[in-house]
Amino acid sequence: MCMACYVDEAMKSRIIAYNAEFHKVTKSPYGSDDEIGMLNLIDAESRSAIMSRTDPSKVFDLSVDHFIGMPGWFGAGDQPYQIWMTHTPQGEIVANAMGVTPEANKLVGYSGDAISMYTHCGTHIDTFNHFGYNGEIFNGFTARDHLGSRAWQKCGPEKYPPIFARGILLDVAALHGVDTLPPSHPIGRADIEGCLKKQGLSIKPGDVVLLRTGQMLLWPDKAFASNTPGLNREGAEYLAKHGVIMIGADNLTLEQTPSAHPENFFPVHTYLLAEAGVPILEMAQLEELAAEKVYEFAFFGACIKLRGATGTPMRPVAMPLR
C-alpha cells in the first residue's frame, strides 16, 4: 500500500486515511461518535473562503433526471426507479378521495404521485453504512448494535452537512485524447497526476474531486451500466491521503468494474467508506463543466435527509471561481 504523505503533520492528523489498515474499518480521529468522516473539514472558515471566491453568474447543474427506465445499479436485484399517479383530476371526480362535492372535484384539478426506487438511483451520495468489513462500518459501528429492522441508526445521510467546498474536475478522458475511456479502464495515480499537470491544478485538503470518464456520453443507454471505467484503489488512496472530503465521478459506480481484486467486489467503495472516511458521489453530470474547461469551481451539494439510508439523491451544482 502507498505509504507516501502529501500533507504536513498537523493536517495528517486530521486525514483519516493515514490511520487506515487494509480491509479493516478505521476509528475516526474526530471521536467515537463521529458519523461524517472527512466532512469534518467543512467549517465556517472553509465555507466563507469558498463563497467569497464564487462567481454566481453561471451555475452548472451536475445532476441527472430520474425517469422510468433510467440506468442504474440493479445487478443485485434492487428496485429501479418507478413513479405513478396517486390522484388525477378525472380520477378524483370518480373516486372522490377528498370527500367533497362533485362540483368541487370538477373545479379543483388535483394531481398527486408517489415514487419507489433504490436509494442509489441517479445522482446520489453513498454514506458510510453502505459498505464495511466483517459486520462493521466506519468508526467501528456494528450491524449487531446499530442496524435496526428498517435502517442503520448510524452514518445515515441526515447526519451529513451541506457540502460547500472547492471542487476540481479531473478530465481523465481528455487526458487520454478520447471522448469516453475504454471499458474497465483503471484510474490510478498516473492518470490523476497526469490530469493535475495538464490542467495546472493541485489538490488541497478539503477539496471535492470529480473524475470525468466520459461515461455520461453513453447516458441513458444501457451500456452506461456495464464494465465501468473508474477509480482503482491506488487512485483512491492517492486522493484520500491528500485530504479530499468527497470523491465523485460521471459513471455508475465511481470505481472500475468488474473488480480487479479476487475477493473484494467493491475495493474502492470499501476503502473510501470504511477505511478512509470519504463519502462517494456517483452519476454526476460533468459534460458541461468539461466542455467549458471549468476545472476549478465552488461545489455545493446537500443530501435528502433519508434517515439511516445507505445512499440518497443529491443535486450538486458548481459555480466558477473569480
Looking at the fold, whether 316 and 239 belong to one and the same domain comes out as: yes
Return d(Cα 299, Cα 85) in angstroms, integer.
34
DSSP 24-80: S----TT-TT--SGGGGG--HHHHHHHHHTB-TT--EE------TT-----TT-PPP
Beta bridge partners of 170: 211
Q: Is 2 inside any structural domain?
A: no
Query: Is pLDDT at 53 greater than 90 in this prediction?
Result: yes
Query: Is pLDDT at 140 greater than 50 in this prediction?
Result: yes
Position 105 scores a pLDDT of: 98
Looking at the fold, whether 153 and 280 belong to one and the same domain comes out as: yes
Position 75 scores a pLDDT of: 86
Q: What are phi and psi of 79, to 5 degrees?
A: -75, 120
Q: Is 1 inside any structural domain?
A: no
Contact 157, 125 (CB under 8 A): yes
Looking at the fold, whether 126 and 101 belong to one and the same domain comes out as: no
Query: Is pLDDT at 1 greater than 60 in this prediction?
Result: no
Q: Is 74 inside any structural domain?
A: no
Give the domain range for residue 105: 82-116
Q: How do residues 61-111 score in pLDDT, each as one tens digit?
A: 999 999 999 999 998 999 999 999 999 999 999 999 999 999 999 999 999
The enclosing domain of 299 has a CATH number of 3.50.30.50
Domain count, the chain: 2
Looking at the fold, whether 109 and 152 belong to one and the same domain comes out as: no
Q: How many CA atoms lie within 13 A of 272 on its CB side?
A: 31
pTM of the entire structure? 0.96
Query: Is pLDDT at 3 greater than 60 in this prediction?
Result: no
Contact 121, 313 (CB under 8 A): yes
Looking at the fold, whether 95 and 17 belong to one and the same domain comes out as: no
Tell me the CA end-to-end span of the chain in Å, nearest whole number: 38
Mean pLDDT value of segment 104-127: 98
